[in-house]
Amino acid sequence: MLTNLTTVKFSKCKGDKSDMEFLEYILGNAQVLKAVTIFALENLLVEEDPWFRAQVLKFPRASPHCEIRFLSWKLPPRSPNPLMWRCRRIKGDDYMEDDSNGPEPNNLIPDTYGD
């Protein structure tokens, strides 16, 4: 499986030990991996505490061409629709927000987002 894996979308990442071990394993063993998109709790991706991103980016990568994207997710405060998610795509200092309806964060960001 890991010899053919090119794309990973990891939703609802909480940054706990099992999440970190999973990401380290995938990054370290998927030889043709091109893109990993991590939908992490918003508090893991705040500018003031870059620990989570720094840890993930330190993991050794079996694929030299792997790009890692971090997206945050949360329920908006006082949302009339409990299934409305707010996602923020993080790329350097640029932010793109998208309010969408859907049960899973991985349904929010279309695959056409490029860098």
Lowest mean pLDDT among 8-22, 54-68, 81-95: 81-95
Cα 108 to the chain's mean position, in Å? 12
The pLDDT, as a whole number, for residue 97 is 43
The pLDDT, as a whole number, for residue 2 is 76
Q: Is residue 15 over pLDDT 60?
A: yes
Among 30, 25, 35, 37, residue whose Cα is nearest residue 63: 30
On whether the pTM is more than 0.85, the answer is: no
Contact criterion met (CB below 8 Å) for 63 and 34 = yes
Helix 51-58 and helix 17-29: axis angle, to 10°? 30
